Amino acid sequence: MTPTPPSSGPVRTLRSDIVFAFALALGCYVAWLLREVLVLLYVSALFAVVLSPVVRATAQFHIGRWQPFKGSAILFLLLVAAAAATAFGFLALPPVIEDLQQFGAEMPARLPPLMDKLRQVPFAAHLNTVEISARLQDFASQGATYLLFSIKNWAARLFDLITGFILTVYFILEGDHAYAWFLSFFPPNSRDRLDKTLQRANFRMGKWLLGQGSLMLILGLISTMVYQLFHIRYAYALGVLTGLLNIIPVMGAAVCIALALLVAAIDSWSRVIGVAVFYVIYVQVENSYLVPRIMRSAVNLPGLAVLVALLLGAALGGVAGAMVSVPTAVLVSVLLDEYLVQKSPA
């Protein structure tokens, strides 16, 4: 009689399967309740992965044998960002605030000429200018009330932004420990494969910042030149802001277009039309040519995959989802290529 070989692992039973199913459902429910916190953690960790090459490159900068930023690269980058934001605020905001105050004081006198300009626009002669004027005055009078009620929402968004920034710094500083802790949940025989796969994804995701920076620089320079060509007020400030906001693929462009059109409308409708035509042409060129080519060369993704990732990220996560959509697509692409794509033996 042949003896029964001992079992090499735990025996699965119906009870264990039921307990696992309930535990999985409970975990999914808890994750749904904490979805905003989990999204914030994921976005912060992803930005830490993307910014880590910049921090390492800054730390390796040296003058002769002296490395001024070794051990303090993050602090140096934070000081540079704070100095740039402060300089932009001192140079760009005072003229805008002064003109807004002057415009608010002169609005009752400037509103009739503005309505006359509106009547000169094609198809605008049939508009009820009296009603439009009344609505504009009501909007101006209710602006302070709306701003007061929206302070709570702005404060919540600001808190999320500050929290995400702090988490990103901590992930950069202690990311290696968190990464090792994450890998410890996997068996040793599959841990090395996963580690090599994630390292490949990390290299490609780090190059996303280079591609996104190229898009921001192109839009910032071209916008500044167009604003100068049309003699738009605050051309340099608007150009810098347009380039910076381009890091948000969907909402950034919308905010830039609204600001530029609003500033152009102060002087003449021809400038409004010129800025609108420029943005219509540029958005088509960027979406159909620049984004697919630059992002494909940076992260090695097809242009269609980049566009689909941007659409899905914006639909699922709004602004934050759009910002991390391309690095997430890179991570998913590398994991699928390693674990699901069936490669031929050759």
Q: Hey, what are 123's tokens?
A: 């198809």
Q: Which position has the higher pLDDT, 90 or 70?
A: 90
Of 40, 22, 42, the C-alpha closest to 30 is 22
Amino acid at 318: G
| Most confident range, picked from 95-104, 137-146, 181-190 | 181-190
Tell whether pTM > 0.75. no
DSSP 70-133: TT-HHHHHHHHHHHHHHHHHHHHHHHHHHHHHHHHHHHHHHHHHHHHHHHTSTT-TTS-HHHHH
26-70 pLDDT, tens digit per residue, is 988 898 888 888 888 888 888 888 888 888 888 787 777 777 676
End-to-end CA gap in the chain? 47
User: Does residue 142 carry a pLDDT above 70?
Assistant: no
Q: Which sequence spans correspond to the domains of the chain?
A: 192-341
